[in-house]
A and B are shown apart, each in its own frame.
Chain A
Amino acid sequence: MRILIPLAAVGGLFLVGLLGAVQGMGWIFGVALPYLAVALFIGGLIYRVMKWANAAVPFRIPTTCGQQKSLSWIKQNKLDNPYTTLQATGRMALEILLFRSLLRNTKAELLDREKLVYATDLSLWIGALAMHWTFLIILIRHLRFFTNPVPYFVTFVEKADGFMEVGVPVIFATTGVFLVAVAYLLFRRLSNPQLRYISLVGDYFPLFLLLGIGISGFFLRHLAKTDVTAIKELALSWTRLAPVVPESVSPLFYGHLFLVSILLAYFPFSKLVHMAGVFLSPTRNLANNNRAVRHVNPWDYPVKVHSYEEYEDELRDKMKAAGIPVERQ
Chain B
Amino acid sequence: MPKFDEPEFYEHEDLLSVDWHPPKTGWMETPVDFRHGTYIYSGKPKNLEVLELPNQREWHVTEEDWKLPEGWKRTVLDGMADRLQKYRTFRIFMDTCVRCGACADKCHFFIGSGDPKNMPVLRAELLRSIYRRDFTALGKVFGSLAGGRELTEDVIKEWFYYFFQCTECRRCSVFCPYGIDTAEITMIGRELLGLLGLYVNWVIEPVANCFKVGNHLGIQPHGLADTLEFMAEDIAEATGIKVDIPINKKGAEILFVTPSGDFVADPGIYTCMAYMLLFHELGIDYTWSTYASDGGNFGLFTSHEAMKRLNAKIYTEAKRLGVKWILGGECGHMWRVIHQYMDTMNGPADFLEVPRSPITGTVFEHAGSTKMIHIMEFTADLIRHGKLDLDPSRNDHIRVTFHDSCNPARAMGIFEEPRYVIRNVCNNFFEMPENTIREQTFCCGGGAGLGTDENMEMRLRGGLPRGNAVRFVQQKYGVNQLAAMCAIDRATLVTVADYWAPGVKVTGISELVVNAMKLTGEKKRTHNLRLEPIPGMAEDGEDADDE
Cβ of A63 and Cβ of B181 under 8 Å apart?
yes
Indicate whether A52 reaches chain B with its CB closer than 8 angstroms. yes
Centre residue among B13, B180, B440 by max chain A CB count within 10 A? B180
Q: Quote the shortest CB–CB distance from B125 to chain A (angstroms).
A: 7
Cβ of A294 and Cβ of B348 under 8 Å apart?
yes
Task: Return the contact of B414 from the options A48, A56, A70, A292 (Cβ within 8 A).
Answer: A70
Task: Return the contact of A198 from the options B85, B119, B225, B372 (Cβ within 8 A).
Answer: B119
Q: Which residues of B from 467 to 485 have beta carbons under 8 Å from A?
A: 468-469, 472
Beyond A308-B320, A325-B248, whether A292 also contacts B95 by CB under 8 A is no
Distance A180 CA – B442 CA, assembled complex (angstroms): 35
Distance A325 CA – B18 CA, assembled complex (angstroms): 56
Write out the residue numbers on chain B whose beta carbons fall within 8 Å of the beta carbon of A75: 416
Query: In the complex, which residue of chain B has the Cβ closest to the Cβ of A278?
Result: B178
Q: Which residues of A from 17 to 62 have beta carbons under 8 Å from B?
A: 48, 51-61
Task: Return the contact of A194 from the options B116, B181, B320 (Cβ within 8 A).
Answer: B116
Cβ of A116 and Cβ of B468 under 8 Å apart?
yes
Query: In the complex, which residue of chain A has the Cβ closest to the Cβ of B317?
Result: A308
Indicate whether B152 reaches chain A with its CB closer than 8 angstroms. no
Beyond A48-B95, A58-B86, A324-B225, whether A74 also contacts B181 by CB under 8 A is no
Distance A198 CA – B27 CA, assembled complex (angstroms): 8
Cβ of A65 and Cβ of B249 under 8 Å apart?
no
B119-147 near A? 1/0 per residue, CB < 8 Å: 10110010000000000111000000111
Cβ of B116 and Cβ of A291 under 8 Å apart?
no
Write out the residue numbers on chain A whose beta carbons fall within 8 Å of the beta carbon of B343: 290-291, 294-295
Cβ of B413 and Cβ of A81 under 8 Å apart?
yes
Write out the residue numbers on chain A whose beta carbons fall within 8 Å of the beta carbon of B297: none
Task: Return the contact of A59 from the options B213, B320, B340, B416 (Cβ within 8 A).
Answer: B340
Cβ of B366 and Cβ of A193 under 8 Å apart?
no
Query: In the complex, which residue of chain B has the Cβ closest to the Cβ of A76?
Result: B413
B interface secondary structure, majority: helix
Indicate whether A222 reaches chain B with its CB closer than 8 angstroms. no
B338-355 near A? 1/0 per residue, CB < 8 Å: 111101110110000000
Indicate whether B410 reaches chain A with its CB closer than 8 angstroms. yes
B230-256 near A? 1/0 per residue, CB < 8 Å: 000000000000000001111000000
Cβ of A290 and Cβ of B250 under 8 Å apart?
no
Write out the residue numbers on chain A whose beta carbons fall within 8 Å of the beta carbon of B468: 114-116
Indicate whether B384 reaches chain A with its CB closer than 8 angstroms. yes
Distance A312 CA – B211 CA, assembled complex (angstroms): 13
Distance A118 CA – B435 CA, assembled complex (angstroms): 7
Write out the residue numbers on chain A whose beta carbons fall within 8 Å of the beta carbon of B221: 315, 318-319, 322, 324
Distance A41 CA – B320 CA, assembled complex (angstroms): 57
Write out the residue numbers on chain B whose beta carbons fall within 8 Å of the beta carbon of A108: 105-106, 111, 465
Indicate whether B390 reaches chain A with its CB closer than 8 angstroms. no
Cβ of A113 and Cβ of B369 under 8 Å apart?
no
A interface secondary structure, majority: loop
Q: Which residues of A from 226 to 245 have beta carbons under 8 Å from B?
A: none
Beyond A101-B174, A291-B366, whether A324 also contacts B344 by CB under 8 A is no
Write out the residue numbers on chain B whose beta carbons fall within 8 Å of the beta carbon of A198: 27, 99, 101, 104, 116, 119, 121-122, 125
Beyond A61-B89, A194-B119, whether A300 also contacts B345 by CB under 8 A is yes
Q: Which residues of A from 143 to 177 have beta carbons under 8 Å from B?
A: none
Write out the residue numbers on chain A whose beta carbons fall within 8 Å of the beta carbon of B464: 116
Q: Quote the shortest CB–CB distance from A268 to chain B (angstroms).
A: 9
Indicate whether B364 reaches chain A with its CB closer than 8 angstroms. yes
Query: In the complex, which residue of chain A has the Cβ closest to the Cβ of B407?
Result: A64
Cβ of B211 and Cβ of A55 under 8 Å apart?
no
Beyond A201-B147, A288-B413, whether A102 also contacts B102 by CB under 8 A is yes
Cβ of A65 and Cβ of B225 under 8 Å apart?
no
Q: Quote the shortest CB–CB distance from A221 to chain B (angstroms).
A: 29
Stretch of B261-269, B305-313, B454-462 at the chain-chain interface: B305-313
Stretch of A210-218, A246-254, A255-263, A269-277 at the chain-chain interface: A269-277
Q: Quote the shortest CB–CB distance from B207 to chain A (angstroms).
A: 11
Distance A66 CA – B409 CA, assembled complex (angstroms): 8
Contacts beyond the supplied A195-B99, A202-B138, A203-B98: 15 A-B pairs with Cβ under 8 Å: A64-B410, A68-B415, A75-B416, A101-B102, A116-B465, A124-B101, A281-B179, A283-B180, A288-B413, A297-B344, A300-B345, A305-B312, A306-B212, A319-B222, A324-B247
On B, residues with C-beta under 8 Å from A are: 13, 16-18, 20-22, 26-27, 52, 84-92, 95-102, 104-106, 111, 116, 119, 121-122, 125, 136-138, 145-147, 170, 173-181, 184, 211-214, 220-222, 225-226, 247-250, 290-291, 304-305, 308-309, 312-313, 316-317, 320, 338-341, 343-345, 347-348, 362, 364-370, 372-373, 377, 380-381, 384, 409-417, 420, 433, 435-436, 439-440, 464-465, 468-469, 472
Q: List 14 A-B contacts (CB under 8 A).
A: A52-B88, A59-B340, A60-B344, A71-B381, A101-B102, A110-B111, A194-B20, A271-B97, A281-B92, A283-B89, A283-B180, A293-B369, A303-B305, A322-B225
On A, residues with C-beta under 8 Å from B are: 5, 48, 51-61, 63-71, 73-75, 77, 80-81, 83, 95, 99, 101-102, 104-108, 110, 113-116, 118, 124, 128, 192-195, 197-203, 269-271, 273-274, 277-278, 280-284, 288-297, 299-300, 303-308, 311-312, 314-315, 318-319, 321-325, 327
6 closest A-B pairs by CB: A68-B413, A322-B222, A64-B413, A277-B96, A283-B179, A118-B435
